[in-house]
Amino acid sequence: MSVVASLLTVLAVLAVGAPPAGATALGPGAFDPSLYRTPVRPTQLEFRVTDADWTPAQAASAVGFEHRPDGVVVHGSGGYGEPVWVRLRFTNSTDKPLVREVQIETSLIDTVQVWQVTNGVAGPRWSAGEDTELTERVLPHATPRFPVVVPPGGFTTLVLRLHDEGTLVAPLLVGESTAIERRWSTRQVVNGGLALVLGWALGAVLLLALVERRRLLGWLAVAMLGLMGVHLFYFWGVAGDIIPPHLRPYVVNRLNAANAIVVYTALTGFTVQALGLREHHPRLTRALWAVVAALIVNSLLIIFVSYGSFLLVNHFGGLACLALLGVGATLRARRGDAVARILLGVYACQVATGVLLATRTVGVVSAGVDAIFATTVVTFMSLLMAAVYSLSRKLRRERTDAMADRLAEATRNAALSETFERFVPKEFLRLLRQPSIESIAVGQNVERRMSVLFSDIRGFTTMTEGMSPADSFEFINNHLDWMEPVIQRHGGFVDNYIGDAVMALFTADEGTDDVIAAAVEMFGALDSYNAVRATEGLDPVEVGVGVHTGSLILGTIGSAERISATAIGDSVNAASRIEGATKKYGVRLLFSDETVALCGEPKPSTRVVDRVRLKGKVNATTLQEALDVLPAAAAAARRDRLDSWNGAWAAYEAGDFAAAGATFAEHAAADPTDVPAALLADRCQRFVVDPPVDWDGVVDLTSK
């Protein structure tokens, strides 16, 4: 922010002129009393004290001074590396000693040397400045402060030599000790309050940056950090006390320059992001970052160039950076960007700060440096926070719009996903360990032990002969509306619809209780469906269901153009054959012995109806009829005769076909609907006449 001030200071120093040769020859030894008669520097003041009051008389070559209630401020300034000489002459025409203090209004001066001459006699010599410890100063104070005692009717002259590596601004306050201390206390309160404001703003922005995780807020936090550094190391100056005195001038000067570069860099990043300059004005953005890069390189080259040259490049680079930022903000403001208009105020505030400091340096205005900085920083912070607020509202609107778009997209995706799930069930994706339908690819597969359930409508062709295609589809869909919920309720899912048939899958990792319960409940749902059909004057629907459990492969088959998800393997074929066998045996529901064996207690109520070798299979499969799905009377009767049935089956397996056939014939005579009994009785009668060779209790099932 001191760019403009430093440039105007250089011009002011060039206009005033360099110090005379005699002045620069003053060394660290005893001060020559006669030197005060010769102008030491164009900045000089004489204080005359009378019985009424004491007033300063301005010398012809003085740069400037100002009256204050607590004393008089004398202005002196020097260029890069030039010392500032100030002579103060105090004349006391009263009969009482005059006691005053002289305070340099800044602590950021590398070296301060003071010689005191009283009534023409050389007095003490003191040192202060950044290179002097507080304990070594005549008055141990953060800012250089010196006592002045003028005897009655006498005069005292103070000659001050001030030197700094950079541009030097040296306002001196002359007044009573209490007034100066009061002013110092007020200054501490102002600077402390300003530090608190900056600290609060920095903390708030840091917290916001961590919560929002936006680079934009990160840039703002860095800018606040640099501004805090400028305050602590330059305007207030208290942070430099932690640095050893012999290093303090060198380190503090460079830290002040570094803090300025940090502010310029962060403001550039903030502005580029906040106004979207990269998208809207890419050339301007490249120019901005080129200037920032030059400033950073300049800071790295400070060990090879003089500090004055470094500061000149730094000041002109900072001025160029501010100018380009102003151009960018103006371009965006003309497009109606509210944030850009506020940022224009930020940059104007920075320029105003520099102008005030520069005019203060040459004595055009009398405002204190602290007041200038406090006013401009508060304005700067207010405008910057207003920009953040406006930007946050803009981002909130964008976020709200983005959330609305994402919500709408999510709704569309959810609807699309729900639609896809009708083709590829989510349970299928879970078994394939795929997160979504988008991740499905040809050839993905997994081997699992599962139960396969096939269900088929009996006499479907006959029932639909007189129906239109639309009526046929409506009939199938109505039937499935009753069947599928039962399957889902017991943890299964429909893998495929094959015309009027249904293929459903159930995991069998923890047994087959679910698939058995689902198969039995399907017939309860079927009875309810038939009751509805009866009220509409429609014929009842009958189905056959077969269930088998074993290993199968779940996966995707197809090509790059079309993919189908399905299950393949012997277990699938076996379940299909078992469902087909329900027609042959005239039963509603058949389980394989593998399915019944994996069921927990209590076991389902079943009876063995045959042991067959399914078509295309080598190993035998025992078929068990589920009794729980029969009409109540038929189910009760078959349960009552179950011991007799099991005895007949044992005789059948042992090859005693005559005894087995007689018992099966009794069952068939007792229940004309008992198709398995009639089939086994007829088979035993044939086997009595023509016994099978190498009988193992298994017959081949040649039909599908």
CATH number of the domain residue 466 falls in: 3.30.70.1230
Q: Using the 3D structure, point to which of 156, 175, 194 is the last residue of a domain.
A: 175
> What distance in Å separates the CA atoms of residue 546 and residue 596, rounded to the nearest whole number?
12
Q: Which residue has tokens 């629907």?
A: 541
Residue 372 pLDDT > 60: no
Residues 281 and 163 in one domain: no
At 64, is the pLDDT very low, low, confident or very high (cuts 50, 70, 90)?
very low
Q: Are residue 375 and residue 253 in the same domain, yes or no?
A: yes
Pair (87, 193) in one structural domain: no
**373 and 266 within one domain:** yes
Distance between CA atoms of residues 610 and 451, nearest Å: 20
In this predicted structure, the answer to whether residue 497 has a pLDDT above a threshold of 50 is yes
Alpha carbon separation from 292 to 150, 222, 283, 287, 298 (Å, rounded): 54, 15, 14, 9, 10
* pLDDT in the model for residue 428: 62
Between the CA atoms of 565, 568, 573 and 575, what dihedral angle is there, to the nearest 10 degrees? -60
Summarised one tens digit per residue, pLDDT across range 594-627 is: 999 888 888 888 999 999 988 777 788 899 999 9
Is 194 found in the same domain as 140? no
Q: Let me know if residue 348 belongs to a domain.
A: yes
Task: Quote the domain boundaries for residue 81.
Answer: 23-175
Token pair of 236 as six digits:
């207030």
Question: Tens digit of pLDDT for each residue in 19-45?
Answer: 333 322 233 333 343 433 333 344 444
Tally of domains in the chain: 3
Return the structure tokens found at 652. Answer: 């059948």
Which residues, at least 6 apart from 37, have a Cβ–Cβ distance to it below 8 Å? none
Which has the minimum average pLDDT: 290-304, 359-373, 421-435, 446-460?
A: 359-373
Average pLDDT over residues 579-588: 91
Residue 414 pLDDT > 50, yes or no? yes
- CB count within 10 Å of CB 676 equals 22
Length of the chain: 704
State yes or no: pLDDT of 670 exceeds 80: yes
Average pLDDT score over residue span 315-327: 83
Q: What pLDDT is stored for residue 623 in this prediction?
A: 93
Task: Report d(CA 591, CA 547) in Å as an integer.
Answer: 5
Whether 390 and 446 share a structural domain: no
Q: How far apart are the C-alpha atoms of 122 and 126, rounded to whole Å?
A: 12
C-beta separation of 361 from 74 below 8 A = no
Q: Which of 151, 175, 199 is the last residue of a domain?
A: 175
What would the mean pLDDT of 144-171 be, rounded to a whole number? 79
Q: Which of 72-86, 167-181, 325-339, 446-460 shows the highest mean pLDDT?
A: 446-460
Say what the pLDDT of residue 521 is: 93
What pLDDT is stored for residue 311 in this prediction?
Answer: 73
Rounded average pLDDT over 284-295: 90
Average pLDDT over residues 445-450: 82
Task: For the full predicted model, state whether its pTM sits above 0.75.
Answer: no
- Shared domain for 292 and 312, answered yes or no, is yes
Q: What pLDDT is stored for residue 8 in this prediction?
A: 30
pLDDT of amino acid 499: 80
* Interatomic CA distance for residues 237 and 252, integer angstroms: 9
